[in-house]
Amino acid sequence: MPTLDLAPLLQRFFLEHLALHRHLSPCTQSAYRDTFRLLLRFLQRTRRVRPQCLPLQALEPDTVLAFLEHLERERHNGIRTRNARLAALHSFVRYLSQWLGPDLPAQTRRVLALPRKRCVTPMLGSLTREQIQALLAATDATWTGRRNHLLFLLLYNTGARISEVLSLRVADALDPGAHAVTLRGKGRKQRTLPLWPQTRRLLRRWIQQNHLASTAPLLPNRFGQPLSRSGVAWHLRQLVARALPRCPSLKGHCISAHTFRHSNAMHLLQAGVLPEVIALWLGHESPNTTHLYVEADLAMKQKLLQRVTAPKGARVPFHPSDKLLRFLDQL
């Protein structure tokens, strides 16, 4: 079988398959791009071959496993990140399987058999209404402070993903008839969510005071460009530090922009909104994702437990186990 070059196949995968045929969102394309940048640098270092000269046969199970271990051990990536990188590689190999057919090297095809690594699902972190209010109150009256206040209020009001809010244009921000905001979520799906009167007032004031055009980013940086995720993370760390003296309960919380999304969902659940409705609100593809909030709400579980009394059955007699079972019990 002739040797196939990796470079032209990878370029075709990005320029035609992802962008044109699958029409994936820019966020997904960026995640795939980052995966292959990391992989090519890893192969360049371990094989001492320039990425442009790598053969397709270099993409085989042992190499991919070594790359995934490198992500965990040397780059300290979590299991979820590792699995996301593997998903990008699987997508590329599936594309090659369709495009090349029987000409795809067997060792490359075997990459599809590599399983995701199992991980423990973490408990969802959320904040109380008082903690959210303390964070919003910690913003100042400067241009940056007013923008940050609107940003985090929007995140909490809508439960949006940070990428959905950062991609908002002024035209998306207000629907004059419905007092709502239009978000573009995963898979380019749109959803329209209502806004609190306070959020609407701040939005109108922000747009008017800054003379923002309808096509301009709603929440720009000081250069007029959309805020970056890293920029939001930096401002949020500063905000938490300022809010801590007035709200000591924030200490110990791992707070990110996504925490506002979790908090919105948790508070909707506590208000009696059905998980299926919350799934539509958050833009979840499956209601099963939303049921994680039910699992995380200890107060709701305690209320359910109060409806059931503890059993008052007879004592179960104790029967000592034999020697082998005792050995196993002590392990």
Q: Is the dihedral of CA 145, 150, 152, 153 positive or negative?
A: positive
Cβ distance 131 to 271 under 8 Å? Answer: no
User: Is-contact 126 262, C-beta < 8 A?
Assistant: yes
Quick one: 84 exposed, middle or buried, by C-beta within 10 A (0-12, 13-18, 19+)? middle
Establish how many alpha carbons lie within 13 A of residue 224's alpha carbon, considering only the half-sphere containing its beta carbon.
Answer: 6
CA angle, residues 195, 199, 203, in degrees to nearest 5: 110
Q: Which residues are catalytic?
A: 161, 186, 258, 261, 284, 293
Burial 139-171, CB ≥16 within 10 A → b, else e: beeeeeebbbbbbbbbbbbbbbbbbbbbbbbbe
Which pair of structure tokens corresponds to residue 328? Answer: 């196993």
